[in-house]
Amino acid sequence: MKIYDLTLPITPSLIVWPGDPPVRITREADVNAGDEFSLSRLEMSAHTGTHVDAPAHFISGGGGVETLPLDVLIGPALVVELLERKLNSTKILWPLRPVERSGWWTTASGSSAWITCL
C-alpha cells in the first residue's frame, strides 16, 4: 500500500482559523551561529493546519485524541486541486466520489479556497 501525507506544512504563512493566533517559529539557538545545538520555538493554536479534532471537542464527555484508534486516520483519500476556481459550493465535488457521513466546510482565504472533510 502506498501512503501519501496529506498534511499542510507548518509555516508562518499558514492560514489559521479567524481569531486564532498566527504561527510563529522562532530560532532560539543555532549551531551555525556558534551554539551547541539548534532549537526552534513553535507557537500556534491546536486547531492550526492539518489536525484531528477529538470527540471531546464537540461532545461533552467525549474522549481525547488518544481514544481514537489509528486505523480511523488511515484510508482512501481524494485530493482535488481547485486553485484556479472560485468555490461557491461543495456541489462541484459530489460527482467526483460518493461520500457518506461526511461534513463539508469551505473557507476562503485570499484568492484560494480549500475544503476540509471529516
Residues forming the active site: 57
Half-sphere exposure of 32 (CA within 13 A, CB side): 1
Task: Name the DSSP class of 63.
Answer: -
∠ CA 105-70-54, rounded to 5°:
45
**CB distance 25 to 9 below 8 Å:** no
Q: DSSP for 74-114?
A: -S-------TTS--S-GGGTGGGS---S--EEEEEETTEEE
